[in-house]
């Protein structure tokens, strides 16, 4: 019986650390509809079909934690969301992406699940999810499914979109050393580290591989001349201009000789051991089409070797060997090549194969012709035919390299100027000095291939990726800059801006991504809300930044992931009971705890977590931090602060009107609260808390106390550093405050601050963000009704774009009508008109709260300033 199809409602890409894991994942919202009533053990034949198609599912341990654990769950009965997770992971495994994280969790809507799977590359994993859905549905409905075709599709996407094995080995080595990386666009351009501490690679080239050195390495004649001048053995030879010139050069050098392109690569058009005029002329005619010129040089007896030099040492060596076929009296040489050589599973055309297929190019045909044969010849049984004098260089000989040869190739790389080089040399015995056997270096190459060392056809794989990473980052250097992540319900933006100011004062070029814009060293480069993954990544890619401060609200963590893998300091300001509940199916405060703890989870062991001691749920996060913990709170008697100081911990609090830095029993007075403009003489308690949080972060960053003091005493002195954060104007006995408050947890302390400013009449112009539950809007209305005499309701931009006209105002009005103080409730949907209506009627003794439009705050302050100028 056919059941409802599995439907993807949404697929969310979490590109950084998130509530599930540190790694990038895709979070698929899956509606299984009627299948909610049909667990796997109720579908006839489902288990048999699925395990026949994917027998390797037996390796999935699942919640039982043992081999075959998932199959046990399948027999007992589990649901399609859970099955989809495991099938997606297994398809990725079979396509070559080994291992991976997966979760499947029910949502509050019956039949809807969150299916979370590791995403090495988004397009690959999205396709794997779709293929897994089709496979599961085929198993449910007893239809055929082509598993090999699905795997082939994924492998094709992996080859197209994922890093190649050479680049991937370097990335894996960096990951092993806890060095962060960012893939820069499609291709193999990768950034390691952040900001000014970063380094970049493009496969086996680094940001220190100079254009001059690359140019020298491409000019084979110049390379040889430089090497020879410095005493490095090279084969004698010269650039030739014609067939006759080529033969003349061969005679001058002495036969046998090599003819090869002047600037060719990958061995194309290279002819070796030439002994006659006919061979030299024939080779010239091919080589001249492979490059911009032709070189004739002395033939060096021996096998080709490729030695990899990284920095100042030789780290790997591989040797080539001739390719032979043996006649059977029936097959042509072409057929013998295919049956005896190219059937070797180590040979292939992708980077996963250490050996390339042998092809009958001009050099191979010449080699065969010199034995009196052609590609169509049928050698008698037992006759050996040399096809390629120097086959793929893919046989590890690192441990056999003579120390003098290692020193010589390292010198060759330095002479050319390459920090990473593939040095080609010919020698009969790599374990003896070159001068004993007339061996020579024939080429020095930039951007060398690494696969021959990672997956040799024979011998020990070499950790060349680790060697490159160690060259880029000496031991103890992880390429990190100070990163401060700030999260919580309220106060994030002010804390982030103040921390960025303090970092700038300490001499660091600092980037800031927050809900008020993107800043590079205090210069705003983008306006609007930039507290998001893309903006944070933009900062971390910037070579001119020595530090970064990044604001993250719950929607960033739930819908995008953090922009950084780890940070030096993480700040959690508070957790509200209601704000943003309902988003992403987070419906309880306990689950919001897990959202904000993501910031704590990524603090480095040598870093610090700065936590609000007044919020019990934030205090609980202390035990989750890998770094130190600094508590902040106005009252030093808070239990969390008192207990922490008893254990010689650090805390920031207020005592006798001054901010105090305390560790254990030691205290240092930083500044008086009254001297800090942001707090308006200490009357705005929530701003005092924000300052304490920023001071705690600065203390964790080892910013000198004198600079911290100077920073907090000058921050927002002209009300420009924290616009829309209790921005206060006083005129003719009246007071106007502009603030971007949009939730109940921020409104309560705002009203408490307003209570510190005497007034006869209070008015408010107010809306509410669209991303709040109906009950939250009613609660805000109740708070307003208890605190203000008149309230004008408008619709801000987010409300206009996400809710029906008037809906939010109606919900606020419900709460207002329950208020104990409000007497006048008025609707004016237009924000500007609502503000002007209150400014026009303001009188001495009035206090007016003007809420800035959540998506467009600037005009609010502009209106107030024009009003002040008029009066």
pLDDT in tens, 680-699: 999 999 999 999 999 999 99
Q: 282 with 273: CB under 8 angstroms? A: no
With a cut of 90, say whether residue 49 has pLDDT above it: yes
The first and second tokens of residue 758, run together, are 């005497």
Strand runs labelled E in 339-456: 384-388, 393-396, 420-427, 440-445
Top-confidence residue, 629 or 829: 629
Class of domain 483-714: alpha beta
With a cut of 70, say whether residue 3 has pLDDT above it: no
With a cut of 60, say whether residue 856 has pLDDT above it: no
Which contacts qualify for 629-633: CB closer than 8 Å, 24 or more apart? 630/696, 630/699, 630/700, 631/696, 632/689, 632/692, 632/693, 632/695, 632/696, 633/689, 633/692
- Among 22-31, 274-283, 321-330, 552-561, the minimum mean pLDDT is found in 321-330
pLDDT digits (tens, 9 = 90+) for 459-501: 999 999 999 999 999 999 999 999 999 999 999 999 999 999 9
CATH superfamily of 727-870: Mur ligase, C-terminal domain (3.90.190.20)
Q: What is the mean pLDDT of residues 794-803?
A: 76
Q: What is the mean pLDDT of residues 319-335?
A: 90
* Sign, CA torsion 608/610/615/618: negative
Q: What is the mean pLDDT of residues 654-673?
A: 98
With a cut of 70, say whether residue 578 has pLDDT above it: no
pLDDT at 582: 66
pLDDT at 171: 97
pLDDT digits (tens, 9 = 90+) for 257-306: 999 998 766 567 888 899 999 999 999 999 998 888 999 999 999 999 99
With a cut of 90, say whether residue 803 has pLDDT above it: no
The first and second tokens of residue 494, run together, are 């002010």
Kindly provide the b/e burial profile for residues 197-227, where b requires at least 16 CB atoms within 10 angstroms of the residue's own CB.
Answer: bbbbbebbbbeebeeebbebbbbbeebbebb
pLDDT at 1: 35
Q: What is the mean pLDDT of residues 178-206?
A: 95
pLDDT at 403: 98
3-class secondary-structure state, position 73 = helix
Evaluate the omega torsion of the peptide bond into residue 314 and state whether it is cis, within 30 degrees of 0. Answer: no
With a cut of 90, say whether residue 140 has pLDDT above it: yes
Q: 603 with 623: CB under 8 angstroms? A: no
Q: What is the mean pLDDT of the chain?
A: 92
Percent of the chain predicted with pLDDT > 90: 77
With a cut of 60, say whether residue 857 has pLDDT above it: no
pLDDT digits (tens, 9 = 90+) for 406-461: 999 999 999 999 999 999 999 999 999 999 999 999 999 999 999 999 999 899 99
Kindly compute the dihedral angle of the four CA atoms of residues 289, 293, 298, 304, in this order, to the nearest 10 degrees.
-60
Q: 121 with 161: CB under 8 angstroms? A: yes
Top-confidence residue, 536 or 455: 536
Q: Where are the domains of the chain?
A: 7-161, 166-207, 323-388, 483-714, 727-870
With a cut of 90, say whether residue 607 has pLDDT above it: yes
Distance CA 213, CA 523 (A): 37
- Residue 802 banded pLDDT, cuts 50, 70, 90: confident
The CA radius of gyration of the chain, in Å to the nearest whole number, is 35
- Residue 2 banded pLDDT, cuts 50, 70, 90: very low
pLDDT at 579: 57
Residue 197 falls in which region: left (phi positive, over 0), alpha (psi -120 to 50) or beta: alpha
CA neighbor of 263 nearest in space, from 295, 238, 240: 295
With a cut of 60, say whether residue 827 has pLDDT above it: yes
Q: What is the mean pLDDT of residues 808-818?
A: 92
Q: What is the mean pLDDT of residues 57-73?
A: 92
pLDDT at 591: 82
pLDDT at 858: 59
pLDDT digits (tens, 9 = 90+) for 89-133: 999 999 999 878 999 999 999 999 999 999 999 999 999 999 999
pLDDT at 100: 82
Distance CA 610, CA 613 (A): 9
Distance CA 707, CA 505 (A): 7
Distance CA 214, CA 321 (A): 28
């Amino acid at each position: 019986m056919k059941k409802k199809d599995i439907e993807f409602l949404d697929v969310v890409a979490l590109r950084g650390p998130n509530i599930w894991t540190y790694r990038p994942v895709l979070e698929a919202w899956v509606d299984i509809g009627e299948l909610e009533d049909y667990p796997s053990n109720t579908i006839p034949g489902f288990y048999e079909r699925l395990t026949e198609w994917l027998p390797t599912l037996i390796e999935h341990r699942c919640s039982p934690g043992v081999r075959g654990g998932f199959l046990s769950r399948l027999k007992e009965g589990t649901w399609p969301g859970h099955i989809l997770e495991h099938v997606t992971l297994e398809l990725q495994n079979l396509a070559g992406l080994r291992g991976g994280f997966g979760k499947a969790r029910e949502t509050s809507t019956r039949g809807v699940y969150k299916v979370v799977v590791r995403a090495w590359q988004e397009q690959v994993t999205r396709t794997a999810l779709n293929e897994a859905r089709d496979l599961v549905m085929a198993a449910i409905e007893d239809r055929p499914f082509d598993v090999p075709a699905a795997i082939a599709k994924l492998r094709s996407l992996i080859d197209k979109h994922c890093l190649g094995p050479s680049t991937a080995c370097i990335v894996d080595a960096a990951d092993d050393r806890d060095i962060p990386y960012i893939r820069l666009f499609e291709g193999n351009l990768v950034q390691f580290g952040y900001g000014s501490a970063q380094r970049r690679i493009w496969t086996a080239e680094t940001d220190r591989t100079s254009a001059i050195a690359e140019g020298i390495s491409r000019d084979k004649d110049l390379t040889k001349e430089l090497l020879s001048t410095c005493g490095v053995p090279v084969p004698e030879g010269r650039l030739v201009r014609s067939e006759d010139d080529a033969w003349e050069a061969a005679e001058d050098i002495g036969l046998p000789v090599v003819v090869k392109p002047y600037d060719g690569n990958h061995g194309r058009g290279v002819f070796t051991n030439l002994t006659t005029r006919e061979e030299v002329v024939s080779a010239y005619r091919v080589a001249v089409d492979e490059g911009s010129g032709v070189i004739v040089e002395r033939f060096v007896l021996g096998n080709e070797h490729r030695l990899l030099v990284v920095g100042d040492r030789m780290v790997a060596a591989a040797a080539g060997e001739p390719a032979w076929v043996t006649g059977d009296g029936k097959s042509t040489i072409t057929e013998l090549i295919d049956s005896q050589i190219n059937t070797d599973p180590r040979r292939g055309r992708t980077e996963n194969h250490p050996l390339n297929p042998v092809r009958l190019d001009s050099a191979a045909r010449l080699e065969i012709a010199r034995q009196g044969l052609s590609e169509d010849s049928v050698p008698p049984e037992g006759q050996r035919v040399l096809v390629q004098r120097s086959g793929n260089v893919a046989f590890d000989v690192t441990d056999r390299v003579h120390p003098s040869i290692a020193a010589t190739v390292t010198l060759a790389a330095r002479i050319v100027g390459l920090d990473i080089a593939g040095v080609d040399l010919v020698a009969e015995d790599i374990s003896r000095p070159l001068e004993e056997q007339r061996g020579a270096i024939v080429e020095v190459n930039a951007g060398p291939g690494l696969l021959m060392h990672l997956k040799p056809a024979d011998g020990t794989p070499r950790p060349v990726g680790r060697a490159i990473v160690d060259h880029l980052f000496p031991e103890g250097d992880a390429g990190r800059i100070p990163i401060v992540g700030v999260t919580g319900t309220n106060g994030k933006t002010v804390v982030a801006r103040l921390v960025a100011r303090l970092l700038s004062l300490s001499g660091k070029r600092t980037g800031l991504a927050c809900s008020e814009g993107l800043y590079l060293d205090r210069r705003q480069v983008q306006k609007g809300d930039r507290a998001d993954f893309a903006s944070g990544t933009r900062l971390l890619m910037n070579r001119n930044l020595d530090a970064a401060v990044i604001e993250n609200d719950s929607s960033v963590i739930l819908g995008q992931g953090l922009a950084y893998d780890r940070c030096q300091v993480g700040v959690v300001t508070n957790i509200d009971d209601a704000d943003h509940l309902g988003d992403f199916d987070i419906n309880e405060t306990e689950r919001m705890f897990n959202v904000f703890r993501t910031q704590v989870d990524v603090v480095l062991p040598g870093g610090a977590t700065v936590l609000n001691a007044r919020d019990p749920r934030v205090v609980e996060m202390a035990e989750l931090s890998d770094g130190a913990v600094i508590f902040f709170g106005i009252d030093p008697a808070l239990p969390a602060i008192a207990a922490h100081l008893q254990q010689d911990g650090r805390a920031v609090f207020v005592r006798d009107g001054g901010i105090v830095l305390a560790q254990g029993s030691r205290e240092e007075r930083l500044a008086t609260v009254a001297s800090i403009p942001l707090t308006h003489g200490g009357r705005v308690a929530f701003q005092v808390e924000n300052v304490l949080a920023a001071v705690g972060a600065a203390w964790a960053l080892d910013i000198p106390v004198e600079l911290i003091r100077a920073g907090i005493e000058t921050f927002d002195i002209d009300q420009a550093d924290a616009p829309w954060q209790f921005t206060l104007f006083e005129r003719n006995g009246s007071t106007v405050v502009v603030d971007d408050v949009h939730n109940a947890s921020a409104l309560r302390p705002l009203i408490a601050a307003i209570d510190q400013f005497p007034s006869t009449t209070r008015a408010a112009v107010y809306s509410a963000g669209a991303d709040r539950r109906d009950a939250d809007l009613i609660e805000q209305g109740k708070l307003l009704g208890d605190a203000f005499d008149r309230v004008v309701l408008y619709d801000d931009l987010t409300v206009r774009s996400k809710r029906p006209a008037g809906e939010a105002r109606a919900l606020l009005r419900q709460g207002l009508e329950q208020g104990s103080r409000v007497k006048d409730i008025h609707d004016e949907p237009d924000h500007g008109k609502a503000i002007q209506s209150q400014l026009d009627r303001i009188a001495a003794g009035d206090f007016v709260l003007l809420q800035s439009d959540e998506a467009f705050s600037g005009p609010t302050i502009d209106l107030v300033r024009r009003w002040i100028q008029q009066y």
